[in-house]
Structure 1
Amino acid sequence: MITHQDTIIQNVFKQLDGLEKIDIYDILLKIETMLMDFKSPIQYEEIKKQIENNSINNISAVDGYGYCYLYDHCRYIKIYKIKTLLPDFLVGEYMYFITPWQLKLMEYTKENLKDFFKGNHLEAITLDFLKKYPPKSKNPVTGRLLLLELLDQIDPE
């Protein structure tokens, strides 16, 4: 017979379906860290409020016509999106990136990625990836950019 706790664990794993193990470990670490700040029993609304407050800290105004926010990241690159007052279907989706080695926002395009990774240890991997996929390709299961998933699998050593 399945216990109540086993049912909860099954429901959690449904949410994690398709993610890499390393991403799941990161999520579990974040959950463990957050649990230290809350009293028992856990109240979902308190957790939701803290997550929303932390998300607001990742938003910056851009020239009075929109805002910039952290979209996704890995150890090698951070991707930002710019949201304007105009709908996306009129102006497109503006994506930019920075890296630990260069903190100037660059437009997230194939050419800029090739130029940036030229001459470093990730050049061959990123060139091969960009020959096969456009930079904005996403994993259909996780919705994450494929380039970031690839870069997450590379050991920095």
Structure 2
Amino acid sequence: MITQEEAVVQKVFKQLDGMSKIEVYDILFKIESMLLDFKSPIRYEELKESLESTSRKINADAADNFGHFYLEDQCEYIKIYKAKTLLPDFFGKELLYFFTPWQLKIMDYTDENLKSTFEGTHLEDVLNRFLETHTAQTRNPVTNRFIFLELLDQMDLNP
């Protein structure tokens, strides 16, 4: 006989079936972050209302006293965040940052940082060839998605 807690865990795992581990970790982090705002016992209707009224909240983290990071795009290998600052953008340049599952330090989204991050991985050669003709910041004009992420989406997780 299983406990009520084990039954709940089984139901949660059934919902996560087929997802990658990094996606599950992200969901768990978002749940933990949201729970800070609620009192016990948890009420589903309050959670649902909070999610609907603040849809960007789960994708934003404080960058410093002057702004926030918002999830711009992601794939299995990398997450790209955009910094939204309270200061005006004088140069018209997007402030983009990234992290990977194996290097959780947030870094500037530059060609050089991508090369050093993916160095020694099975993606190194493909990435270097790609960056010879493109920049990491190039977007697909139709989807507005980074073409670098479109390339990574075509790669296998295991070489």
TM-score, shorter chain, exceeding 0.5: yes
TM range (shorter): 0.5 to 0.7
Q: Over residues 54-84 of structure 1, what are the superposed CA-to-partner deviations in whole Å (9 max), with x where a residue is unaligned?
A: 3211111222111111110000000011111
TM-score by length of 1: 0.64
What corresponds to 2:128 in structure 1?
127
What corresponds to 1:24 in structure 2?
none
CA shift in 2, pair 1:57/1:88, >3 Å: same
User: SS of 1:67's equivalent?
Assistant: strand
**Unpaired segments ≥5 residues, structure 1:** 1-48
AA partner of residue 96 (structure 1):
Y
Q: Over residues 98-126 of structure 1, what are the superposed CA-to-partner deviations in whole Å (9 max), with x where a residue is unaligned?
A: 00101100111111111111111000111
CA shift in 2, pair 1:120/1:80, >3 Å: same
CA shift in 2, pair 1:82/1:131, >3 Å: same
What corresponds to 2:68 in structure 1?
67
User: SS of 1:88's equivalent?
Assistant: coil
What corresponds to 1:87 in structure 2?
88
Q: What percentage of aligned pairs have identical amino acids?
A: 51
Shift of 1:89: 3.8
What corresponds to 1:98 in structure 2?
99
What corresponds to 1:39 in structure 2?
none
Shift of 1:90: 3.4
User: SS of 2:105's equivalent?
Assistant: strand
**Unpaired segments ≥5 residues, structure 2:** 1-49
1:3-152 alignment, distance < 5 Å: 50=51, 53-90=54-91, 92-152=93-153
User: SS of 1:62's equivalent?
Assistant: strand
Shift of 1:155: 1.6
User: SS of 2:122's equivalent?
Assistant: coil
AA partner of residue 112 (structure 1):
N
Runs of 4+, deviation exceeding 6 Å = none
CA shift in 2, pair 1:70/1:106, >3 Å: same
Aligned CA RMSD, in angstroms, stands at 1.9
CA distance in 1, matches of 2:80, 2:73: 5
Aligned residues: 110
AA partner of residue 144 (structure 2):
G
CA distance in 2, matches of 1:127, 1:141: 24
AA partner of residue 68 (structure 2):
Y
CA distance in 1, matches of 2:107, 2:68: 16
CA distance in 1, matches of 2:53, 2:74: 18
TM-score by length of 2: 0.63
